[in-house]
Amino acid sequence: MPSCLSPPCAAIHTPQSRMPVRNIWRHALQGELQLIIGPMFSGKSTELIRRMRRYQHAQLKCMVVKSKIDDRYTNESLVSTHDRQMMKANPLKRLEDMGEEFMQYDVIGIDEGQFFADLHSFCDVAANRGKIVIVAALDGTFERKPFQHVCDLIPRAESVTKLSAVCAICGSDAAFTRRLVSSTAVELVGGSEAYQPVCRNCFTTPLATKDDEMN
């Protein structure tokens, strides 16, 4: 027993009473939704990977999922950034394909969220059930129209981070994505051969044709 000269908490703060880091996190863990949005080449996947690694260092159980249709830089089982940072990921057609598997994890990261039609419903359910959900997604199409199931998450998110890229034309901050190919499909997987980040002024400037570039 502590003597009358001992500090009041001397018998409590012993090495045996220290809680493991992961248990401290889990004790305080509450569901939340973090949204990372912006144009292509703005570092959304890079930021997603950074946050997921931080939670991994805190010894939380983490899972990353990606769309099966996005295989631009690597095989299906990895999230890859434009500069080839990689993290293991589960490829899915729909988020509901996870069933109850997500309940085994503390943190769920979703890359290229605009490709998931059931993004809104899954994120709401998972966060309400105590999971930290981090979504990296385009907020707008190449026509600057909203990806509605992404934008619908904004009023339900605890945090929203809007990233900028570098305009491929003038070097200014770029908030928009311009398509370089003639397809009108809203969802068209591609990299720098098909898209470029642009600022407001350059977005409204017509694309130069090959004939223009030669003159």
Helical H segments across 86-203, by residue range:
119-128, 148-151, 200-203
Q: Is 193 a catalytic residue?
A: no
Flag whether 73 is marked binding: no
Per-residue buried b or exposed e for 81-99, using 16+ beta carbons within 10 Å of the residue's own CB: beeebebebbbbeebeebe
* 138: nearest Cα among 98, 167, 178, 99: 178
CA distance 91 to 71: 10
List the catalytic residue out of 47, 96, 112, 193: 112
Residue tagged 């080839």 (tokens): 84
Pairing between β-strand 176-179 and β-strand 195-198 as defined by DSSP bridges: antiparallel
> DSSP letters along 54-67, please?
HHHHTT--EEEEEE
Catalytic residues: 112
Annotated binding residues, written as ranges, equal 195
Annotated binding residues for substrate, written as ranges, equal 195
